[in-house]
Amino acid sequence: MASLEQNKEVVIIKYNAGNIQSVWYALERIGVNAVVSDDHDRIRNAGKVIFPGVGEASSAMHYLREREIDKLILQLKQPVLGICLGMQLLCAHTAENDTACIGIFDEQVRLFKPSDGKEKVPQIGWNTLYDLKTPLFEGIDNGAYVYSVHSYYADLGTHTIATSNYIHPYSAALWKDNFYGVQFHPEKSAETGERLLKNFIFTIK
Amino acid sequence: MLTKRIIPCLDIRDGRTVKGVNFENIRDAGDPVELGALYASQGADELVFLDITATNEKRKTLSELVNRIARHINIPFTVGGGIGSIEDVNVLLQNGADKISVNTAAFRNPQLVSDLAGEFGSQCVVLAIDARQEDDGEWYVYLNGGRIKTDTRCEDWARQGVDRGAGEILLTSMNHDGAKSGFALDITRRLADALSVPVIASGGGGTMRHFVDVFNEGHADAALAASIFHFKEIGIPELKRYLQENQIAVRI
């Protein structure tokens, strides 16, 4: 297995938004022993940072602000991967309880509105990815399936590096400098998710 | 596009699968983790683990099992069976369950659904409803694994559950469960059309055609089955190919 930079930890940011255990286990399945922490120094010195999240945006941002983790994230220089709510919180603003977020990506986060009353919100299940860009998706083909659960989505924009379609096209992944975000759950997306996590951990510099 | 989901259900007692059958390609079909991993590798979209243990040791056995499942299986899974409190759910989610399902306890105390959705989010709260169609043509809610009848109509309870924050409905037709004569298309369709959240149809799947029908005519978002998968009457790969041939979007 390719090795991570020596002595550099993979840190999963600990906060009040679920799925941390699932992300930790998914990393374990690809041979990575990650650390779950909210310690600023530990996060700052990590080789890779994962910012997970399942939950509600305003309470998550409140928790992050109280501990100044939002400011810390803005200053990070190593690769950072936001997952689901984590990705949305890396955007500037979400419509979920009209919440100002961390502000890496300027794409707007909006609530899905069914076009004809038929589509269910949240979107729950496996959907396809297309228009894949950056080494994050190396070895992953257009049309690959990933698992998502979400009521809010980020618009397509200049930072979009993967697109999915539910009611309309939206950003399945975003990228700016050292910051990556995925709307879906790689930790629950079978082989495709495992490949993406491997790319993030072992390929992205 | 978003695909229809195929969900095998595993009944668990004392940490073991109840319908342990002979799978030659795994060592121990009685181990929920091995059987679940096999289904995941065959293309199952999610798994449901339904715990029917009745002993006092239940909670610890289950949380240990959930932890092992989360560690080894790379698709989402729901855990249900006798869940009655926020603390029950907290333990299961902490151990890596993606969703939990509530049934009788939620009916007895509907506030539980609101509390769970408020605490953990709607995305992890599945409201399981066992329903039976009576002679008057109406569908009624049953409790305690189908042993106790209520006077509440299935649609009314489902709607209340969604209003309180349930993120999905798992509907089991007691008239159809085990009969392998097809899913309950009419009530599934009524719920799927009326509710803003996904509906998982359960009970009655016996042929691959039944799955086409529950998606096309029942408007289900997902279909759940147990014994036809456990006894290899239908393989998940062949089922998904058949659905695809019938123009139903599935993950292959």
- B207 pLDDT above the threshold of 60: yes
In-domain check, residue A86: yes
- B20 pLDDT above the threshold of 60: no
Catalytic residue positions of B, numbered: 11, 130
Whichever domain contains A165, its CATH number is 3.40.50.880
In-domain check, residue A3: no
- In this complex, which of B1, B221, B251 lies closest to A120 when CB atoms are compared? B221
Q: Which CATH superfamily includes the segment(s) B5-245? A: Aldolase class I (3.20.20.70)
Query: What's the pLDDT score for residue B25?
Result: 60
In-domain check, residue A121: yes
In-domain check, residue A33: yes
Total-model pTM: 0.94
Length of chain B: 252
Cα dihedral sign for B7, B139, B125, B197?
Answer: positive
Question: How confident is the model over A139-166, as pLDDT tens digits?
Answer: 999 999 999 999 999 999 999 999 999 9
In-domain check, residue A128: yes
CB-based contact (8 Å) between A130 and chain B?
no
In-domain check, residue A1: no
Which residues of chain A register pLDDT less than 70? 1-7, 18, 117
**Structural domains counted in chain A:** 1
Range of the domain at A130: 10-203
DSSP for chain B reads -PPPEEEEEEEEETTEESS----TTSS-TT-HHHHHHHHHHHT-S-EEEEE---STTHHHHHHHHHHHHHHH--S-EEEESS--SHHHHHHHHHTT-SEEEE-HHHHH-THHHHHHHHHH-GGGEEEEEEEEE-TTS-EEEEETTTTEEEEEEHHHHHHHHHHTT-SEEEEEETTTTTT-S---HHHHHHHHHH-SS-EEEES---SHHHHHHHHHTT--SEEEESHHHHTTSS-HHHHHHHHHHTT-----
ipTM of the complex: 0.92
- In this complex, which of B40, B167, B251 lies closest to A126 when CB atoms are compared? B251
Domain-by-domain residue ranges, chain B? 5-245
All residues of chain A having their beta carbon less than 8 Å from the beta carbon of residue B251 are: 126, 145
In-domain check, residue A5: no
pLDDT class of B137 with cuts at 50, 70, 90: very high
pLDDT > 70: percent of chain B: 94
- 8 A C-beta contact, residue B161 and residue B169: yes
CB-based contact (8 Å) between B167 and chain A?
yes
CA pair distance B74, A1, nearest whole angstrom: 20
